[in-house]
Chain A
Amino acid sequence: MVIAGTLIARGETVRVTIPYYSAATEPYFQKMAAEFKQKNPDIDIKIEIVNWDNLLQKLTTDIAANANADISIIGTRWLVDFQKTEVVEPLDQYMDQAFQGRFIESLFNYAKVGGKVYGLPIAASARALYYNKDLFTKAGLSNGPKTWSDVEEAAKKIKDAGFYGFGLQGKEIETDTYWYYALWSFGGEIVQDCKATFNSDAGVKALSEYKKLIDEGLTQPGVTSYSREDVQNLFKQGRVGTVITAPFLINQLKSDAPDLQYGITAIPSDSGNLSMVVTDTIVMFKNSKVKKAAWKFLDYLFTPEPRITFTKGEGFLPTTKSEGEDTYFTQNERLQVFVKLLSTGKFLPLVSGYDAMSDAVSRALQGVYLGKAQPVEALKQAAQEADAAICK
């Protein structure tokens, strides 16, 4: 018995839940697991790939059944919920100053809750405005839009040329964030001191602006049937002048629409450097029995070589300083736009009940987009629902 026990303890297995980002995800993590195993022969890494849409559902059921993995990637917006229910392990005790120094500070600090580190930023993305240069030239414009009135003006001319001006998303995940871009540029905030503030004057202005674009036919018709992918497809097909989205569209355009001429610029605003920064976080679960081994693997993932391979392969932005200095980023003009925006971009608020707020806002927006509700009332109602759900 004793011998068997020690044998099992010597060969530790760390289970890792990873969402499917792209076809490169699984090969990358399998490779990392193999390389790690070479250096640490007594630790086995078991990678479990899950579809993004099912990730939260899988984690929920796994945790409820006490069958969850040891570490997992999660959307950072879920972190507070995980922390509040005490399923994730604080990581401060495992790391020293040098380890923290590897990261881009704003991204690292975003995953802190109550001053403690509960996760490490493993993937970063940002949002910027893509504009179709051919359509802009056709409309007699030479530069990308800087403000919302620029967007409007360009959209009118592009519409007259027979295309859609501004690609507006109104369906499924990120329907709400697509509107936060405008909210921020009008000076509004989503949440302040655990109270929903998106229904401020800035919010009403932002929503009225989108509604005006819809009513004047400056967006594609039927915005509430357009998910993020649908809007991006319009852009790939060269049928829409502008769209706000993430850097991964660069790679997709390279393969799907290699001839499309386009530029990338910040989200319209007075400051000229507005963006939204999104991160995914890798966390360790409190009930893990192999925390030391799990941390070893995390430490390995955040060394320079594995990092740059991951970020390049997935088309993400750097989360550690060494990646940002790689020629892959410094010599790519388009990616540089995004990398620069990382330091000025806004983050989504980290509050518990975020998804309920997101749902309430999306519904309010859809109601207004469809002409079934007015901005002021719709946002007020959504703010009430949000207040009932967040920070609980």
Chain B
Amino acid sequence: MKPRSLNLAPYALILPSFALAFFIISYPFLDILLTSSHQVSRFGILLRFNGVENFAKAFADPLFTASLVRTLWWTLFVVSGTILISFPVALILNQEFRGRGVARAIIMLPWAVSLTMSAVVWRWAFNAEYGMVNATLQKLGIISHPIAWLASGELAFPIEIFVGILVSIPFSATVFLGGLSALPGDIYEAAQLEGASVFQQFFHLTLPLMRPFINIAIVLNVIYVFNSFPIIWVLTEGGPADSTQILVTYLYKLAFRLGRIGEAAAVSLVMLLILFVFTFVYLRIQGKEAKA
């Protein structure tokens, strides 16, 4: 009798928060599930069940495929760029040096500004006529004429990736800094005594020990970046001629510009599925490697 009643207590205790979380997550999910499987009026009123018609329509749209491919590039470049830059940044910020507090604050600052506001600032900076970027490059004599940075997708998309990396660095650097400060100091002392070089210490000690932090930074960044809306929307609205459209801007345009809400819901479900599969597969592989 006694053990059984004890076993129920933890479940009862987490039940309220579980119920709340379940409701918060499941309500929009069910709503999207319903929307995506119905013909929907321009104002989101469900008209009739139409099975997978919305999905079929979305998949048949060449813009969907183009946006999907571009989203993968966007995520790949922004996340890898972010990780490759934030790791050394975190290593440097982990050293003892004068002004470290200031340096840390400067790296973290972009985090304090809303993503939309930083995107607006970058839109100004890359303005062809009065933007800071053109002014600086012209003063330095690097370019002779102002460049219309955001006029074509070929230039605008790399710029958006660049801005994406910049705004993602603070979060990743924070994760890495947390990891680095938790590393035990004695193993480095031992390694030094054994004559390990700085590079050997990095590749054989720091990197393996930091692996869980790198993994979590990659997974969280992929989720954030894959779904990131403000940078591309503010800079180019996915244009010109849809040449910088990623899935999330495409679905916003579908829903709120073109009034195709059912299809937009279908696209968002597909996005959820992609992220779910990615996270699942990635963590599985990493978990296995760590055990091996």
CA separation between A355 and B256, bound complex, in Å?
10
Which B8-57 residues have C-beta < 8 A from chain A?
41-45
Asked whether B151 is an interface residue with its Cβ less than 8 Å from the other chain, the reply is: yes
Q: Let me know if A64 and B44 touch, CB within 8 A.
A: yes
* A224-B151 contact given A56-B256, A233-B129, CB 8 Å threshold: yes
Q: Let me know if B240 and A224 touch, CB within 8 A.
A: yes
Q: How many A-B residue pairs have CB under 8 A?
A: 95
Shortest CB-to-CB span from A172 to chain B, Å, is 6
Asked whether A221 is an interface residue with its Cβ less than 8 Å from the other chain, the reply is: yes
Shortest CB-to-CB span from A109 to chain B, Å, is 24
Contacts of A12 in B (CB 8 A): none
* A225-B151 contact given A171-B240, A230-B127, A370-B241, CB 8 Å threshold: yes
Contacts of B148 in A (CB 8 A): 221-222, 224-225
Which B233-280 residues have C-beta < 8 A from chain A?
236-237, 239-242, 253, 255-259, 261
CA separation between A389 and B236, bound complex, in Å?
24
CA separation between A224 and B128, bound complex, in Å?
11
CA separation between A362 and B253, bound complex, in Å?
14
> Which of chain A's residues has its CB closest to B63's CB?
A363
Select B43's contact among A59, A225, A230, A359, beta carbons within 8 Å: A59
Q: Let me know if A359 and B152 touch, CB within 8 A.
A: no
Q: Let me know if A222 and B151 touch, CB within 8 A.
A: yes
Q: How many residues of B contact A (CB 8 A)?
A: 31
Asked whether A306 is an interface residue with its Cβ less than 8 Å from the other chain, the reply is: no
Which B127-156 residues have C-beta < 8 A from chain A?
127-130, 145-152, 156
* A225-B44 contact given A233-B129, A355-B259, A359-B258, CB 8 Å threshold: no
Q: Let me know if A372 and B241 touch, CB within 8 A.
A: yes
Which A141-176 residues have C-beta < 8 A from chain B?
170-172
Contacts of B151 in A (CB 8 A): 170, 221-225, 370
Asked whether A367 is an interface residue with its Cβ less than 8 Å from the other chain, the reply is: yes
Q: Let me know if B45 and A224 touch, CB within 8 A.
A: no
Contacts of A237 in B (CB 8 A): 129-130
* A87-B128 contact given A221-B148, A223-B151, A225-B151, CB 8 Å threshold: no
CA separation between A222 and B127, bound complex, in Å?
10
Contacts of A60 in B (CB 8 A): 42-44, 255-256, 259, 261
Select B152's contact among A82, A363, A370, beta carbons within 8 Å: A370
Which B116-133 residues have C-beta < 8 A from chain A?
127-130
Contacts of A87 in B (CB 8 A): 43
Sample of 16 more A-B contacts, CB < 8 Å, known A222-B147, A225-B240, A366-B240 = A63-B43, A63-B44, A64-B43, A81-B42, A171-B236, A171-B239, A221-B151, A224-B241, A225-B151, A237-B130, A239-B129, A359-B257, A363-B242, A370-B151, A370-B240, A370-B241
Interface residues of A (CB under 8 A from B): 56-57, 59-61, 63-64, 81-82, 85, 87, 170-172, 220-226, 230, 233-234, 237, 239, 353, 355-356, 359, 362-364, 366-367, 369-370, 372, 389
